Chains A and B, each alone.
Chain A
Amino acid sequence: MSPALMRVLRVVVLLSAVRGAPLATVTLPPVILEPVPLEPVPVPSEPVRVDSGADQNISIPINTEQQQQQQQQVSLDVDVMLTGELNPNHYPARRAAQVVLHHLNTRYGSPYWWGALRQVHKATAEALGDSGRKYSLEVTLQDQISGTKETCTAEVVFPGGPAGGPPQVTTSYEGKSEINTQAQEEALYNQYNTSQNLLSGHNLPDSYGHVAPGMEPFWHLGGVASSFVMLKESSENTLYNMAQVVSVTQLATENNQLRFNYDVLLHEMVSQEIIHWKLLASWSPQEGVKASQMELLPKCHHCEPPQEH
């Protein structure tokens, strides 16, 4: 007997069993929160649409309110935050680990060092009552430029309460092990410090993923500076990456810091939104990268960004 026919029979049985009741009822299976067992679990799934060939959908008449209630039940169960040992490959651990990388980039990032999350090895979460939730992690990070990897432990506290606030991060990371970026940083700093003429660029990378070799350090710098924004905007419900540097314009050096106005697009994975931020990045080899004057630009629905390909 075909699976479709089986479902029809099951539905007919259900409907006839509740004759007299205005609408059919189907109970939702209990939502499982623990790591999923490997053996197939017999689960009556959501009411299955029964289709006869290419004709119309015959849907089981379900009370809309009931359906909403069931779905709300599902969403409530999902919203309950997990505590204890977390699966390091699932999203709660990954989101917390990404926050660690944003933090490390604000501390150690430069035009020649731009860290990314490579792997989460272990993760636990605990509730801190009103103070929020704390994640303890062991992660491997990788410099996206040289490829060097390093493992460290970290703690991320997402503050509680409606005000929220940026996550607080501490790590065991002690700084970049290779020192050869120093020469490159000094050279870049000198090149752009003494010149009267100020750098500008746009679309890094461009639509085809291309970055001119001379502009790569400013793409990296944009990524690092964006980490300040991404760090302060992060929560347990977000996962940020920098999608593109829309524009970078150098300003006059001040207090020995090279300064750049950046226009960046951030990609937030959970909402899938592309979010436009402006910021002022300042950098020197001694001081590292700092970001200020961070400003969210509204999503413009009817105007198109001038895209050069």
Chain B
Amino acid sequence: MGVCVCVCVCVCVCVCVCVLMCVCVNGCVCVCVCACVRACVRVFTRHQVLRISAKDELQLSALRDLEALDHLQLDIWIGVRDVSTPVDIRVPAFSLSTVKSHLDYYEIQYSIMIRDLQVALDEEAEEMDAATRDVEPRNTDAFDYSRYHTIEEIYNFQDMLVSENPNLVSKIVIGRSYEGRPINVLKFSTGGTSRPAIWLDTGIHSREWVTQASGTWFAKNIVDTYGKDQVLTAILDKMDIFLEIVTNPDGFAYTHSKNRMWRKTRKPNPGSSCVGVDPNRNWDAGFGGAGASSSPCSETYRGPSANSESEVKAIVDFVKSHGNMKAFVSIHAYSQMLLFPYGFTKSPARDHGELNELAKKAITNLASLYGTRYRYGSIINTIYQASGGTIDWTYDQGIKYSYTFELRDTGRYGFILPANQILPTAKETWLALMTIMDHSSRNSY
């Protein structure tokens, strides 16, 4: 065996450390192993990659002159060859104006292939991470609560949560959506029969994505903190919690596949080309009155009759047959408000005083986490007149603690709230929910 000399060349995408390993095998064949340790430094911020097309020798010569200027620190990706081959050059931010002036002076055509290389790299890295994350999580600890999910992912999450916590969580299918999707409700219970219960729902308006995302976190948070959080444990030892995360499944699927701004159900309206009914105008409370539209093309279309939507009827039937709901919270976004009945009339609810005081307490607790400011009051005073609304119906059913939330934000992002706000929103909202649930638990009626 002789002495072997190995030469390896390693190429990595970022400026990073390359570890080379050369192994000499019999007969001096080199085997190279390259491992790039991606300790990437942000060196490409505002660098642009230009694709340059020279049309004649004069322009080609001008380009070669440019390449020769070392102080510009140009990085030639595809070099100057001939007039038919474009030249690709990475230009550092500090050289951009010089290069572009040079190109403009010679009237050399170019396009900006990559407007900010670091952004492109970051996005690619994010996609690569996401690709690994997109592999289905094997348990609810591996589920990423700080991202938005599809209906399939949320439904899988629900099943995993149940199978991981069979003594605390069960899933009830309370009905089917218009397009036949199951309407799932998670029941959190420590036992008993027909205990007084709290209802939470998210996603009744499908475009309000932070609500379904928060609902998912609420579910996990309940199982994680039962037995550890005194207040929650006390509540669950007396009451059951029902949580419907995807209250408008067809609409939610539609916001993923076709129209991010879809609000209503997806039921066609006979005689109209417009689809869908506003599920928060379809309840039997002031139905037909001002505060909802009679036009199928409207975002606040009440529907042909109260409870015409299976998504609404499923909850109505469930609540009525349960018969022992003590609190009902329907969660929407955006505007940062905590609202209570009524929406269809200016007449104050019989319990206006108590509901108002409790709302004030709840939003004070909400604000304690990140300082997020909420307004509160009856629907009709605080936001607008709305008829056929969920909590007007639940309140008139005798469910005193009927509330609607409008979560973050106040309009900057609106419905398309960035995912990095999901966890802060869910956590602060939970403090308000706990206030309401705790109060219901201590004030039986």
Contact = CB atoms under 8 A, between A and B. Distances in A.
B414 A90 contact: no
Interface in A86-129: 87, 89-91, 116-117, 119
B104 to A, nearest CB: 6
Interface in A174-225: 190-191, 194-197, 205-210, 212-214
A3 interface: yes
Interface stretch (B59-67, B155-163, B237-245, B283-291): B283-291
Nearest to A33: B346
Interface stretch (B19-27, B28-36, B76-84, B347-355): B347-355
Interface in B393-440: 396-398, 410-419, 421
A78 B416 contact: no
Contacts of B383: 91, 269
A163 interface: no
B368 interface: no
Interface residues of A, number: 72
A27 interface: no
Contact of A38 (B96, B284, B353): B353
A206 to B, nearest CB: 7
A10 interface: no
- The dominant DSSP class at the A interface is loop
A197 B259 contact: no
Contacts of A273: 298-299
B99 to A, nearest CB: 11
Interface stretch (A251-259, A285-293, A299-307): A299-307
Contacts of A87: 381
Which of B348, B418, B419 has the largest number of chain A CB atoms within 10 A? B348
B321 A53 contact: yes
Interface string B90-130: 00000011001101100001111001100100010000000
Given A41-B348, A301-B273, A243 B415 contact: yes
Contacts of B278: 272
B251 interface: no
Interface stretch (B165-173, B193-201, B372-380): B372-380
B14 interface: no
Contacts of A244: 261, 414, 416
A243 B262 CA distance: 13
A196 B275 CA distance: 45
B384 A270 contact: yes
B320 interface: yes
A243 B414 contact: yes
A71 B396 CA distance: 17
B382 interface: yes
A77 interface: yes
Contacts of B97: 190, 194
Given A54-B320, A208-B419, A213-B116, A265 B261 contact: yes
A46 interface: yes
Given A54-B317, A194-B100, A208-B148, A49 B284 contact: yes
Interface residues of B, number: 82
A272 B273 contact: no
Nearest to B281: A272
Given A54-B321, A209-B417, A274-B261, A46 B345 contact: yes
A75 interface: yes
Given A54-B320, A71-B288, A36 B348 contact: yes
Contacts of A33: 346
Nearest to B264: A272
B258 interface: yes
B335 interface: yes
B274 interface: yes
Contacts of B397: 51
B297 interface: yes
Given A46-B396, A75-B289, A197-B110, A307 B260 contact: yes
B335 A74 contact: no
Nearest to A79: B290
B140 interface: no
Interface string A62-89: 0000011001101101100000000101
Contacts of B275: 301
B145 interface: no
A87 B385 CA distance: 16
Interface string B230-266: 0000000000000000000000000110111101000
Interface in A18-35: 28-29, 31-33
A32 B348 contact: yes
B328 interface: no
Contact of B346 (A31, A194, A206, A309): A31
11 contacts: A38-B356, A40-B352, A45-B396, A51-B397, A87-B381, A91-B384, A116-B410, A195-B112, A209-B418, A209-B421, A271-B299
Given A41-B352, A194-B100, A208-B419, 9 more contacts: A28-B347, A36-B348, A40-B353, A45-B347, A53-B321, A243-B415, A244-B261, A271-B299, A301-B274
Interface of B: 46, 96-97, 100-101, 103-104, 109-112, 115-116, 119, 123, 148, 255-256, 258-261, 263, 273-275, 278, 284-286, 288-291, 293, 297-300, 317, 320-321, 323, 335, 344-354, 356-357, 373, 375-378, 380-385, 396-398, 410-419, 421
Interface of A: 3-4, 28-29, 31-33, 36-43, 45-46, 48-49, 51, 53-54, 57, 67-68, 71-72, 74-75, 77-78, 87, 89-91, 116-117, 119, 144, 190-191, 194-197, 205-210, 212-214, 241, 243-244, 265, 267, 269-274, 299, 301-302, 304-305, 307, 309
3 shortest interchain CB distances as A-B pairs: A209-B418, A75-B290, A241-B411
